[in-house]
Structure formats: structure tokens, C-alpha cells
Amino acid sequence: MRASRTLTAIAAVAASVLVVAPTASAYDREAYEYAAGHMIERSDIPKVLGDFDESLGFSAGLGVRTYLCYLPSSTPDAAGTDVQVGRPQLQYSGFYSPSKGPQVFVVVRVLQFGSAGVAIKGFEALKTQSRKCKGAGSTTWTNDDGTETTSSWRVATSVVPQVTVAGVPSIGITQDNLSVSSDGGKPSASDNYTVYTLVNDVILSTSYEGGSTTNMTKDQRKATNQVAFNAVSRWLGVS
């Protein structure tokens, strides 16, 4: 399957398996086993995203507030703003670590709500909050040793029609941060792109997370969309 396809076939399946995963009314063995057995596999990650270990890291727990992006302050000493949305009942995470090369990670988080209706409300809130995740800027300050540090950032939100379930397209959030010091030291950078997808009673969050002094390429972004597509297929058990 290619990322250019929408999830028309999966949407049809979704309509008939509205409760394919256990509801999030309790944290139990059945829910844990379903989540652990329906994460992406190593083969679901296109090569352009990097080299990753074969083993999947997996964790589960009660839901926490969902971080969407960070908006730095224009004043060096002032705190920025975390854009967040409400918490699901349960949360599962599956990730692949790099086997070599750049320190990049592919992470799928499953935010499970008490019902499909509650998940829809959660996704609508996420869409509303995601509109705040936009802008760019830079700040320069002088350190105690006289060197200067310049921190630049860019945040953008987009619609991801390539990953659409039951007529609802996904939401993509990009966050790039780069800090450069005048002392010639190695720049500090992060480059993250996350796709949020509504699937029945869960929201799937598929992320490419890493440090790079260059922005993601078009091919890497398309590949992350492909992973998000694959994550939906795995969760529904139709891959």
C-alpha cells in the first residue's frame, strides 16, 4: 500500500469493527495484549527514515495530557507555551530505536478513550488546539562567558488527506528547533513530525522524532505518512 491512497478500504472495515479493541473502562490484560499485538512492525518503516533495531519498545499506562507542540517565548528568560489537549483513559506506546546513524525514533502512541463518541470529541479538541501550532521565530542571547546563542524555531500544522479514516483526514504537526552558539560548538537540534488519526475509540499518534540540523525531506514526510497509514492497518488487524 502507498501513502498516496486514502484508507477507504479500512474505513469500511472500521464501520463493522467499532469495538475491535477493548474499551478503556479498565486497564486489564486483554486491553494490554491487544495493544501490544497490534503495533507497527519493523517492516512498516520505509528505509528513508533510517536504520532501526528489529525489536519494538512497548509501554502502557493511564492516559496523560497530550502534548502537541511548544511555542517559545520571544524573550530569552521567559517561559514558552506548551499546547496540549485533554487526557485519554489509557495510553500505549510502541517505538523503534536507531540501530546506527542519526538518533531518530519512530513512535506510535495509542490514545484510548471510553467510547468512539468520546474519541471524536477528543479529536475535535485536538484539531482546535492544533491551530495554535504555527509560527516561526528566533532569539539571541549572551551567555555568561560572552558567547552568543541563537535559538530558532518553526511550528506548522497541516491536514494529511493521505491518511483518512471514515472520511476524517489526519492532522500533522511539525516542530523544528535549532540552537547555534558563537563558540563554534555542535548545534543542538530537533526535528519532529507527528500525524494524529481518529480510529474508532482511539487516536493514533505516529511520530518521527530526531535531532538534525536540516529539516525533514519531502520523502521522509511521505514515509512518516506511510507509517501512520500502516499503524491504522495494524491497529484494525487488516494489514
Angle between helices 8-16 and 218-236 (to 10 degrees): 30
For the chain, percent of residues with pLDDT exceeding 90: 58
Q: How far apart are CA 69 and CA 76, in angstroms?
A: 18
The pLDDT tens digits for 117-127 are: 999 999 999 99
Q: End-to-end CA distance of the chain: give it in Å, rounded.
A: 9
* pLDDT surpassing 80 at residue 26: no
Q: Pick the residue with more confidence: 211 or 99?
A: 99
pLDDT (0 to 100) of residue 7: 44
* pLDDT surpassing 80 at residue 15: no
pLDDT (0 to 100) of residue 1: 41
Q: Which amino acid is at 47?
A: K
Q: Pick the residue with more confidence: 154 or 21?
A: 154
Q: List strand residue ranges (DSSP E) for 81-210, in order.
A: 81-85, 90-96, 98-100, 104-112, 135-142, 148-165, 168-181, 188-199, 202-210
Q: Which amino acid is at 87?
A: R
pLDDT (0 to 100) of residue 79: 77
The pLDDT tens digits for 189-208 are: 678 999 999 999 999 999 99
Q: How far apart are CA 168 and CA 57, in angstroms?
A: 29
Are 194 and 206 spatial neighbours (Cβ–Cβ below 8 Å)? Answer: yes
Counting beta carbons within 10 angstroms of the beta carbon of residue 126, is it exposed (0 to 12), middle (13 to 18) or buried (19 or more)?
Answer: buried
- Domain 8-236 CATH class label: alpha beta
What is the distance of C-alpha 67 from the center of its chain? 10
Q: How far apart are CA 12 and CA 179, in angstroms?
A: 46
Across the chain, mean pLDDT equals 84
Q: Pick the residue with more confidence: 10 or 223?
A: 223
Residue ranges covered by each domain of the chain? 8-236
**Among 88, 147, 146, 156, residue whose Cα is nearest residue 118:** 88
Q: How far apart are CA 88 and CA 187, in angstroms?
A: 36
**Among 164, 168, 163, residue whose Cα is nearest residue 225:** 163
